Amino acid sequence: MIKNKLIILKAVFLIVILMLISCKNDSGTQGNKPEPNIPDTPKASFDDATGQGSVNGIEFKLIAIESVQNGNLGFQNIQDNEPHKVNLTAYKIGETEVTQELFNAVMGANPSFFDNTQNKTWPLDEERDRTYITTPFEGEEHSKRPVEHLSWFQAVAFCNKLSLLCGREACYSLTLNDKPVDFLNLPFDQIPITPFSKDLEKMEAIVNDWNGITLDIEKNGFRLPTEAEWEWAAKGGTEDYYAGTSDIEKLKDYAWYDSDNDLDKGNHPDARTHEVKKKEPNAYGLYDMTGNVWEWVWDQFGGKPADGETDPLGYEATENIERVVRGGSWNEEYDTCTRFFRYKSGPSYPTPDSLAGCLGFRIVCRTKK
């Protein structure tokens, strides 16, 4: 009798256990119900002491630049960049241009024209019947080529998102429709870039809104360099004409540029970007400050750089805003690759001229307090 009761109790206990498991499966806390598809947030870090950073295992490095008092910028007989003085707070600047792998790790997208796929024709080159090789040169790693074909707005959005991922302050602010933009979760395709085949009037309205971006240079997050910070870093503590040398015969050691003035005359195999850090650095240890790709900076284009100011933010326009680009690129001749030459592009445009894949950026930050 007792034995039968024990068998019954065991059976009841087993039934209860099975019912509990079934309930858990139905509630979705266990069992085979699929988990929600939530994208992973990139894992990022940055060490102020070493200037070393990482995003999902993709490493980057910033070089420390000491504060500047009465530093010399500009050059004689350069109309829009005559010799002038500048004072700068200490900062760190990217050892290299932002690479495609780093940009993709942060933004989940890679807008680059030179994307390691197939040969391409740039839309503005159709009449010239010119194509470009998008694969890297032999011995070069594609993912370490600079990101390019991106707007100033996309570069700014990258800076803010990288800052937030690394636990730093966002330097840029933007309000759209009476709400602050959430740069950490902003979809990449919502950042303005002007294509050549869509409604330019609609794009102009969007660009006007995005031109309301403001900068707090006192914050410790990542940002584009000011024009003064960029030029001071390019000098490398010297008075070199280019970033690394004043000798035109040695420029090939420091820069990827159109040394033979023939990269825009047909389907040239050298008409493309290069992996960063393949040339010699300047005296500060910075690579490709001359050539490879033009680099976006914060400043608007217009007027002359201010003389004697501290941390100047440049000219401020109210309409027809254009941003300064610096450093020249793979498709430019030596005269535009100097450390003092100034050029410009609309902030929504991915190129400063009619050639493909020649505009990127590097980042700066201040020490975290």
- Encoding tokens for residue 115? 């994307």
- pLDDT tens for 215-239 read 999 999 999 999 999 999 999 999 9
- pLDDT tens, 171-215? 999 999 999 999 999 999 999 998 765 677 788 889 999 999 999
Identity of the residue numbered 279: K
What the block records as the tokens of 116 is 């390691």
pLDDT at 122: 74
CATH code of the domain containing 108: 3.90.1580.10
Among left, alpha and beta (phi > 0; psi -120 to 50; other), residue 237 is: left
Cβ neighbors of 345 (< 8 A, separation 6 or more) are 152, 294, 296, 322, 323, 325, 351, 352, 359
Structural domain contains residue 17: no
Instruction: Check residue 270 and give its pLDDT.
Output: 85
- Does residue 91 sit within a domain? yes
Q: Kindly state whether residue 9 falls inside one of the protein's structural domains.
A: no
Which band of pLDDT confidence, cut at 50, 70 and 90, is reported for residue 126? low
Residues in the chain: 369
- How does pLDDT run across 229-269, given as a tens digit for each residue? 999 999 999 999 999 999 999 999 999 999 876 666 556 78
| pTM metric for this prediction | 0.87
Cβ of 327: how many Cβ atoms within 10 Å? 30
DSSP code for 183: T
CA-based end-to-end distance of the chain? 79
Domain assignment present for 33: no
Q: Is 346 exposed, middle or buried (0-12, 13-18, 19+ CB in 10 A)?
A: middle
Mean pLDDT in the chain?
87
pLDDT at 276 over 70: yes
SS3 203: helix
Q: Where are the beta strands (DSSP E) in the chain?
A: 44-47, 52-55, 58-65, 68-73, 84-88, 91-94, 120-121, 131-132, 172-173, 175-176, 179-180, 214-215, 294-300, 309-310, 323-326, 342-345, 359-360, 364-365
Phi/psi region, residue 194 (left: phi>0; alpha: psi -120 to 50; beta: rest), is: beta
* Pairing status of strand 294-300 against strand 359-360: parallel
Residue-number span of the structural domain to which 168 is assigned = 56-365
pLDDT for residue 340: 95
- The residues that bridge with 291 in the sheet, in sequence order, are 256
Residue 26 counted as domain residue: no
Place of tokens 């034995």: 3
Query: What digits encode the pLDDT tens for the residues 297-307?
Result: 999 998 888 89
C-alpha closest to that of 129 among 120, 117, 116, 139: 120
Instruction: Tell whether 24 is covered by a domain.
Output: no
In a domain, 253, yes or no: yes
As for how many domains the chain has, the answer is 1
Least Cα distance to 147 among 195, 113, 116 occurs for 113
In whole angstroms, what is the distance from residue 68 CA to residue 80 CA?
Answer: 22
Does residue 136 lie within any of the structural domains?
yes
Quote the percentage of the chain above a pLDDT of 90: 68
With 60 as the cut, is the pLDDT of residue 2 above it?
no
In DSSP terms, 324 is beta-bridged to 344
Q: Using the predicted structure, report yes or no on whether residue 3 has a pLDDT greater than 50.
A: no
> CA-CA distance, 289 to 205, in Å (whole number)?
34
Lowest mean pLDDT among 16-30, 80-94, 201-215, 355-369: 16-30
Q: Token digits for 369?
A: 């307090």
Nearest Cα to 363, choosing from 313, 296, 300? 296
The pLDDT of residue 268: 77
